[in-house]
Structure 1
């Protein structure tokens, strides 16, 4: 440090050069850039000069992992679920949604749904506060058990 509290710098000018990167696997890069287009179609784009700056496309034995995963076959989804409830109220799905940005005229910000797995019957309750969910559930349970004659056996939720 000098007397004026500065640090002198000694810069040496030397030979300056720039490095250039080149890619040997340009075919695979263009294959990915074009949304995993096949090699024959890439060659056609290059021959007809449909893409500006497309280099020469060469046949390659390398395999694109994304294309292989995309071509894997998988079992189809079953048309009917095998675990469906056989009697009403055997399994009821529930979810709480909210708080909503727009408040209803009654001041509700949440809604609570109950869906019976057997009959697909759906009940929707509107709530001002999320803390009212348990009291609404007790009323729902009493009402549907009285009306249907069945007992609620399982309640499935996402713990919301």
Structure 2
């Protein structure tokens, strides 16, 4: 199969004419396989290649949606734009997370850290306990 012909210039292959240089042969396999080989080209694009004689042996271009095309068209959906009502008092809502154990101890000898985030103040407080079962001592 010849895809592109060109002359090597340094480390690049330069093509002289893009119109006549692309030729695909041995297209007697299914259109789904050619869809994957041509980087998940659309049916419209494959029909255009067929009309230009680049896929001469491919009689019918009809392939169902492949998993790669479906996954490639997915996108992340952002969170709701509606803001929730902030808490009115300090320490009314506190988020916490504990991380550890670390492979290497901190300078103070701790292998864990606990993070507290106050919803009202939007501030973070960190605590570095000596062990996972250490108490706050409040």
TM-score (norm 2): 0.54
Higher-RCO chain (CA-CA 8 Å, sequence separation at least 6)? 1
How far apart are residue 103 of structure 1 and its match? 1.1
Equivalent residue pairs, number: 107
Instruction: Call closer, same or farther: CA 1:127–1:75 in 2, change over 3 Å.
Output: closer
Q: Which has the higher helix share?
A: 1
How far apart are residue 115 of structure 1 and its match? 0.5
- Unaligned 5+ runs, structure 1: 1-23, 50-54, 140-160
Q: For 1:69-84, what aligned pairs fall within 5 Å after superposition?
A: 76-82=78-84, 84=86
Q: 1:129 aligns with which of 128, 131, 134?
A: 131
SS class of match (1:112): strand
How far apart are residue 128 of structure 1 and its match? 1.9
Instruction: State how far apart, in whole Å, the 2-side matches of 1:84 and 1:57 are.
Output: 63
- Unaligned 5+ runs, structure 2: 1-27
Q: In structure 1, what is the equivalent of residue 100 of structure 2? A: 98
Tell me which structure has the larger Cα radius of gyration. 1
What per-residue deviation string (whole Å, max 9, x for no partner) do you get for residues 9-58 of structure 1?
A: xxxxxxxxxxxxxxx97322443466543234456788798xxxxx8484
Contact 2:47 2:61 in 1 (8 A): no
Instruction: State how far apart, in whole Å, the 2-side matches of 1:127 and 1:107 are.
Output: 9
Instruction: State how far apart, in whole Å, the 1-side matches of 2:92 and 2:102 are.
Output: 31
